[in-house]
Structure 1
Amino acid sequence: MNKRIIISAAAVIALAACSEDKGAGTSVGIDSTAETQSDADIAFMNSMLDSFGNSSKSVVSDDGNEVTPTDEPTLPLSPVLFTFTTEKEVVYSEIKSNGSCWVNLYNQEDGISFYKSKKETIPGYSTILEQYDDATILLKENEGSLYMQDLHYKSFAGRTELCEADSIAFVAECNEKGGVYRIYNEGCSNTLEMSCVAKVSSQTELRAIANTFKGECETFIANLPEAEELPAVHCQGDTENGMACDTTWNE
């Protein structure tokens, strides 16, 4: 019997709070129809999740009940940040003062790194904050079947409502694919760390996924707001005898 996916308590709370907001989840351009799964499929998908460390609250278990693992995460920084070690192919790269987006393809490791960020002034904060999505896509084959892992490390520049909506969208998309997922942090405070593994069609191509991300980057960069003009600081003197500084706006 296939194992089912249950939503963590944090996601349920987020769903109640943002039932009308579907968020801005990232699509990777594969067929949304879930592949037929066996017990072996579920076991392998969970093993892919386990290879990146255990969450504080696992959302998949053999008997359909939520499991709280006792092991500490195996990665000290984050279980969803992945470092490629082989040569990359730059599919897209655009870095601006108010935002960036790039896509790198790693054919030898069957993976993609995708990053987009936007800098903006948030009401209530004295500094410019950055909203970003650091994502990794990995394809793995096992016993003639192909699986895709989608890892995301996201920051929402203090906007809790965006974080909650995005987590709902991620869970819904993973469920639609018939996948298993884990959310590695409680609630939506500063970051959102999550991973989904799903069985995909054997015809799924890494380059096609990379090109989908490229299209997202092009749209993202084109829609960035105008960069905010920052004041220029002019100083006279030196650090030993003291300096007099004046802040003026560039003409």
Structure 2
Amino acid sequence: MSAKAPICFYYGNGKLVELAEYPRVVLQPDFYKPAELTYLAEAGVQTLGYLSLSEDTGPPAPWQRQERNPDWGGAFVHVGHPLWVEHVVGQAKAAMKQGFHGLFLDTLNVELTYPEDVPHLLTLVGAIREEAQPAYLLANRGFGMLPRLAEIVDGVVFESFSARWTDEGYAPWPADTLEFHAQIAEQLLQLELDLIALDYADTQGLTDFAIRRARQFGMQCVVSDRALSRV
């Protein structure tokens, strides 16, 4: 990942010197102490804490569904459950108190799994905005909540816009999916948001393809690996 990229998504720990080269970074709150966040802030880095809004990797809890994410193992949740709302808002407040400048809101694609939870998810994002104002909020996808979502967050990440990871490795999306993603990208361009494509690749050719295609749709592009372990 180039140090000239607009943002770094890094789910490991440490590497403060390398992270300090970016204007904005997304980090796992549990991996960083307030002093480390202060170091990055003094280097001019805007830090965003990761926050999952529809999946829970913690111990069994009343808000969890029986179904789990087949890729990462986290339990899907009832987004509107009052205790889940309290839990997530509490995490957001804790991250801000810890020293983060904003939040990266992940697992927003509930329209693909539990569409009945879309209104609840929109309410949850609104509650986070109210607690974290004026922090920077960056949403990962969340297209089922558009255009209302655009009134709450500051930017949108289009994860796997052009390239993805599969069981066989990294690859571009098939033509029909690329066209569908292009239609969504054109909608995003009508909104006043920071737009970032986050793609996955392990070759220069696939990386160049992702960057070139993102630029065609007015998006800055970050290319990483499946585990987001590159800095």
Q: Which has the higher strand share?
A: 1
TM-score (norm 2): 0.27
Q: Which has the higher helix share?
A: 2
Larger Rg: 1
Higher normalized contact order (CA 8 Å, seq sep 6+, divided by chain length): 1
TM-score (norm 1): 0.26
